[in-house]
Structure 1
Amino acid sequence: MSDKQEPAEEVVIDDGVETATVRRAPKYSVFLALGAALGVFVAMILTFAFDGQANPAIGQTMSFTQGQVFGFLALVCGVIGLALGGIIALIFERTLGRRTHKVVVDREEHLTID
């Protein structure tokens, strides 16, 4: 006895040529991630500008460590960078999304018979 399997046979069920519209859209996740990363980088730079020491001249009585200053600034600047990245992605979609192309698509549906 032979246990050879015969190859499956493919039958074309539906065949057609259609026109489709193709447009380019930005990847929002990339813009959001880059915006947040840029915000954290700005927070890192600003950490050295604000030393976190108490300044009684302006009514500040508490002092903070550099880690606390960085954490707060990273939180604020990260959210602002995230929002700006999203806004930039929306602007790109509005300006570049208007350029659409019509393409011809050959569509086939196959049924495999065992």
Structure 2
Amino acid sequence: MVEEADKPAPSAPAELIEESVETVSVRRAPKMLVFLVLGAALGVLAALIFTYGFGVFDATGAEQSAYSAVSYTSGQVFGFLVLVCGVVGVALGGIVALILERTVGRRTREVQVGRERVTTVD
């Protein structure tokens, strides 16, 4: 019978640590997705205003087209305008984000970063 004290202790793996200091450039950039979503939301808001602010609906809730004899409900008009205004809003949001990236992105600064790499050797 072998006792616990007689067993050899397992050897712990050795660690090799390498440290270095590097210089990196840091710049601030706007988050593109935020501007695209904000542009789409403003496009939907504009479609809502265009639909119910300027539309002429009859008692059934339909609007007569000026170019054809077709009547469109307020929901259909809103849907059409959301398609157009949403795309325009996303495009304008993207353009604003690109302009901000060009102007704010020019200001970069150099910082020193400490880097540590740990490698275990069995």
TM-score over 0.5 (shorter chain)? yes
Supply the AA of the counterpart residue of 2:114. D
Trace 1:1-114 onto structure 2 (pairs within 5 A). 1=4, 10-12=15-17, 14-48=18-52, 49-51=54-56, 53-54=63-64, 58-113=66-121
The alignment's TM-score, normalised by the length of structure 1, stands at 0.84
Please provide the CA RMSD for this pair: 2.2
Alpha carbons 2:63, 2:74 under 8 Å: kept: no
Moved over 4 A (4+): 5-9
Flag structure 2 segments of 5+ consecutive residues without an equivalent: 57-61
| CA displacement at 1:60 relative to structure 2 | 3.4
The alignment's TM-score, normalised by the length of structure 2, stands at 0.79
Supply the AA of the counterpart residue of 2:30. P
CA distance in 2, matches of 1:79, 1:45: 16
CA distance in 1, matches of 2:37, 2:26: 26
| CA displacement at 1:10 relative to structure 2 | 3.5
Alpha carbons 2:21, 2:113 under 8 Å: kept: yes
Structure ID, larger Rg: 2
Per-residue CA deviations over 1:41-90 (Å, capped at 9, x if unaligned) read 110111111236225xx543211000000000001000000000000000
In percent, how many aligned pairs have the same letter? 54
Instruction: Decide whether aligned partners of structure 1 residues 104 and 59 sit closer, same or farther in structure 2, where only a CA change above 3 A counts.
Output: closer
| CA displacement at 1:9 relative to structure 2 | 5.1
CA distance in 2, matches of 1:78, 1:6: 64
